[in-house]
Amino acid sequence: MLDIKFVRENPDVVRQNIKNKFQDEKLPLVDEVIELDKENREIKQELQALQAEKNRIAKEIGKLMGQGKREEAEEVKKKVAEFAGRLDELAAREKVVEADLKKKMMIIPNIIDPSVPIGKDDSENVEIERFGEPVVPDFEIPYHTEIMERFGGIDLDAAGRVAGNGFYYLMGDIARLHSAVLSYARDFMIGRGFTYVVPPFMIRSAVVDGVMSFAEMDAMMYKIEGEDLYLIGTSEHSMIGKFIDTIIPEEKLPYTLTSFSPCFRKEKGAHGIEERGVYRIHQFEKQEMIVVCRPEESPKWFDVLWKNTVDFFRTLDIPVRTLECCSGDLADLKVKSLDVEAWSPRQKKYFEVGSCSNLGDAQARRLGIRVKGKDKKNYLAHTLNNTCVAPPRMLIAFLENNLQADGSIRIPEALRPYMGGMTEIREK
């Protein structure tokens, strides 16, 4: 959410930003919030003036009563009654205006970073850099669920009977591999200096409103019926929510945290054949990283975060590339975002396995995350997040890139301690 003062003083900048994100239907909101802001300030001015007058009259009444002028005091009291009615009327209108203003302000997208390429959707994202040599072996690589089935590692039919489409049973060595990747990711991030956290897996609506846009919430979140609780779609939601309504001493920044959680997502809409199996599912696990820092430090931490993911995948011998997300592909709260994509030898192309985002002060403004500077003045923190790894989708890249000609799965050296020293997985 933007600062209303910024919108008031820079309406053309806000309008151009909306155009850059190809959301022209939101352009009328700029004039609407400016008008609501004007009315809100006028109401506050009148309320202040009336309250001052009411206080002045109250003193006058006290003076008259002290002088024994009871009849005159009673006449003055009638004026106070008139003020009271107007004060109540203004207070009621103030609540309506402020609620409407906040609702509209939360729909206006954040100002994107000048470095963000302008484009309509993810087809116009820009490749930045590749890491590792993408290889296509001279033997056929089956679809990922077929590879898993060879090892007795997945049962989608049973999951469908138990929970419906979009769920899975992982079993045996494949399930162990899934857990090993997460354990390795935990230790990898701790080794990078991040504090390990297991957060709540449900959050209240106040946190949901603070961490994401309305459109994202509708497309992602599962609501707990009869409770003010939502299942998290990523631990970022719970982790950023940890700082709601807090004032952080500047010397404690930055907070660099890495969190494990299950994630639950609606995943609305139809998806193509390449998104079957365990690619797009309603439940998965993830190792996340978040940073809360001073505004001037967020560009530096943005680079640190995405490089962590690249380094993690490279230790598992998986080639990756980074893509700069264009303006139309950015969620409304994001200032800048970069996707990490892993190489798929079967498809002979890359696919997304993680996303790194700088949200500026948008989440901090919504959640009231403030920093007390050395000058004792408060300012808004910046928040960032990034995926370290999210199996089982990551397992697709792992299995395809480590599949051997004889059908076995090679276990990279970094992962072997988490697999009981196994160097490969073979059919049993």
Q: Which of 60, 352, 416, 424 is catalytic?
A: 352
Q: Is residue 393 flagged as an active site residue? A: yes
Q: Is residue 280 flagged as an active site residue? A: yes
Q: Is residue 265 flagged as an active site residue? A: yes
Q: Is residue 352 flagged as an active site residue? A: yes
**Residue 325 CB contacts under 8 Å (≥ 6 apart), including other chains:** 116, 122, 125, 334, 336, 337, 338, 339, 355
Inter-CA distances, 60 with 67, 68, 71, 80, Å: 11, 12, 13, 11
Handedness of CA 254, 355, 340, 361 (dihedral sign): negative
Q: Which of 186, 324, 393, 400 is catalytic?
A: 393
**Residue 207 CB contacts under 8 Å (≥ 6 apart), including other chains:** 237, 238, 240, 241, 244, 367
Q: Which of 186, 265, 365, 366 is catalytic?
A: 265
Q: Is residue 413 flagged as an active site residue? A: no
Q: Which of 176, 280, 410, 416 is catalytic?
A: 280
Q: Which of 213, 259, 327, 355 is catalytic?
A: 355
Catalytic machinery residues: 265, 280, 352, 355, 393
